[in-house]
Structure 1
Amino acid sequence: MKRGGNKKFRRASKSTAKEDDDEDEYRVVFHRKRKETYHQYQIVGRRVPTEQEPTPQVYRMKLWALDATRARSKFWYFLSRLRKVKKANGQIIACNEIFEKDDTTVKNYGVWIRYQSRVGFHNAYKEYRETTMNAAVDALYTEMASRHRVRSHALQIIKIAEVANEDVRRENTRQFLADDVSFPVVRKTLRHDSKSQKTTFKYQRPNFAIL
């Protein structure tokens, strides 16, 4: 066999191995991004004390981010535009994650947002039915990315609050507020008629049927 053939084979094998490595890296990154969820943080910061200003003004901000590092970055982003305080001449006093007491009850959440599209800046109001505010924010980012093609960095949450049933505005949310709301059962499990055959565990997979 000629040497040229061996070289071609070696080059092909190297390129194939490189493609496999890139594919594995893509799989890892994609799998990691699927698990990312937004968390609510409370960050307290101020300007670094000096002799001219020994007790500077303290600022507190609540925001949503994927982790504490990005939350602190958002804090400096907004504070530098609202006040003349930036990371170079400021300090963070506290950074705490906020958890909800009741995360098992479905509630109505109203979200006031401001986002940038291809045309310009827009204000909007969204409503979601979720168990926590973090889940509502996740649904917000998902909807804005799918329906309006809004990037996450171009969306700012102005306010989010729990909305009572009588104050709900959107018809899509109002349809779930009825006391007699019901949903069709599209998949039923066939049960045996005899009580002696109704056991918790079976040695074979049960049969399912769509009725």
Structure 2
Amino acid sequence: MGKAPKTCPTLVQKMHQYQIVGRAQPTKKQPEPKIYRMKLFAKNKVIARSKFWYFMKKLTKAKKTGGELLALNEIGEAHPLRPSNYGVWFRYQSRTDTHNMYKEFRDVTLTGAIGQLMQEMAGRHRALPESIQIIDTKELKPEECKRPHVTQLLPQNLKFPQVDRIKPVLPHLRRTFYVKPKN
């Protein structure tokens, strides 16, 4: 048996979207506790579960030890090959304060747009993924886009120049191997 082919790490989806359903554990006082459902972005299920309990502790008085998960599902994209514009509202903790921000991205999937967000926030603001809390995401129509780096790609007659065109080699001049001269 040979080894499985190694995939390029740059082609692997870094962020995943999860839907998590959970509640506080039933007690004699409250036999039917309220059920909460959250959509979270995380690298894997373990981090998604951890984020869920982090928000549950903030929103309600339910902790991981006194609660139960009812479901954990990964949400896929309906049209993963169609480019779309996404708006992301989020909050992040800097070294000095908490900031609310809105950013726009153009990507084929929502998780790809969130991956771009994490990369941009790390590069421009040195924000760690743990300090970023996504409040809302929305797929934007072309007329709703505001940011120039997204609006420049919206025109219908958009064309890109062809650069570095290579002329085809004539059949009688084709060779399997070429000798590259030394510099």
Unmatched runs of 5 consecutive residues or more in structure 1: 1-30, 206-211
| 1:174 alignment partner in structure 2 | 151
Aligned mates of 1:88, 1:105 — CA distance in 2:
42
| 1:16 alignment partner in structure 2 | none
- Cα 1:117–1:102 change in 2 (3 A) is same
Q: How does 1:180-199 map to 2 (within 5 A)?
A: 180-192=157-169, 197=171
Aligned mates of 1:33, 1:185 — CA distance in 2:
25
**Paired residue secondary structure (2:14):** coil
**Paired residue secondary structure (1:96):** strand
4+ long deviations beyond 4 Å: 31-36
Out of 100, 107, 113, the position equivalent to 2:77 is 100
Aligned mates of 1:107, 1:52 — CA distance in 2:
48
Q: How does 1:10-29 map to 2 (within 5 A)?
A: none
Provide the TM-score with structure 1 as the length reference.
0.75
Is the Cα contact below 8 Å between 2:15 and 2:41 reproduced in 1?
Answer: yes
Aligned mates of 2:101, 2:82 — CA distance in 1:
26
Out of 118, 130, 143, the position equivalent to 2:95 is 118
| 1:5 alignment partner in structure 2 | none
Aligned mates of 2:12, 2:30 — CA distance in 1:
44
Are positions 1:130 and 2:107 aligned together?
Answer: yes
Out of 33, 36, 40, the position equivalent to 1:56 is 33
Higher relative contact order (CA 8 A, sep 6+): 2
Structure ID, larger Rg: 1
Is the Cα contact below 8 Å between 2:16 and 2:74 reproduced in 1?
Answer: yes
Q: What is the letter of the counterpart of residue 53 of structure 2? A: W
Unmatched runs of 5 consecutive residues or more in structure 2: 1-7, 179-183
Q: Return the offset for 1:36.
A: 6.5
| 2:5 alignment partner in structure 1 | none
Q: Which has the higher helix share?
A: 1
Q: Return the offset for 1:118.
A: 2.1
Aligned mates of 1:106, 1:116 — CA distance in 2:
30
Q: What is the letter of the counterpart of residue 40 of structure 2? A: L
Aligned mates of 1:142, 1:179 — CA distance in 2:
29
Q: Return the offset for 1:183.
A: 1.5
Are positions 1:203 and 2:179 aligned together?
Answer: no
**Paired residue secondary structure (2:65):** helix
Is the Cα contact below 8 Å between 2:13 and 2:112 reproduced in 1?
Answer: no
Q: How does 1:57-72 map to 2 (within 5 A)?
A: 57-72=34-49
- Cα 1:202–1:170 change in 2 (3 A) is farther
Q: Return the offset for 1:182.
A: 1.4
Q: What is the letter of the counterpart of residue 176 of structure 1? A: L
- Percent of aligned pairs sharing the same letter: 42
Q: Return the offset for 1:34.
A: 9.2
- Cα 1:164–1:202 change in 2 (3 A) is farther
